[in-house]
Amino acid sequence: MLPGERSAIVSKSPHVGRYEQQVDRESAYEILQARLKRAELEAISEQERLEWEEEREKIEKERDKLDREQRKRSTSRGRSSKDPLDDLFGDAANTFGRELGRTIVRGIFGSLKRR
């Protein structure tokens, strides 16, 4: 068929002008799929928002708990005695205990090493 013949046949058709333009309309299936996808995204974003808020609340509670513990520690720090002799004897007892422990451990490991 020659190009001129085709155009002559098309021009005689009663459907001239009606089907000349190609139209790709969105089908009902495509519209429903788009709505479902949008609803899923909204649900996911809502769920993520709720999870984020829960996580933020947990962090705030933990921060408040740590602040309370820190305030409690800062107010109860130090020894209750203000006597320098108690501090001196306490330091001496700590030193003595450390040296005694060190001596015992060296003795035990020394005897094991000799065997």
Could you give the C-alpha distances from 106 to 25, 84, 94, 101, in angstroms and in order? Answer: 90, 33, 18, 9
Q: In a 3-state reduction of DSSP, which class is residue 20?
A: coil
Which tens digits make up the pLDDT trace of 14-24? 888 877 777 77
CA angle 49–54–57, rounded 5-degree value? 125
> CA-CA distance, 103 to 95, in Å (whole number)?
12
Which distant-in-sequence residues (6+ apart) come within 8 Å of 16 by Cβ? 10
The amino acid present at 105, given as its one-letter code, is V
Instruction: Please determine, for residue 60, whether its predicted confidence score (pLDDT) is greater than 80.
Output: yes
Model pLDDT for residues 70-89, shown as the tens digit of each residue: 888 876 655 555 677 677 77
Which percentage of the chain shows pLDDT scores above 90?
22
pTM confidence score:
0.34
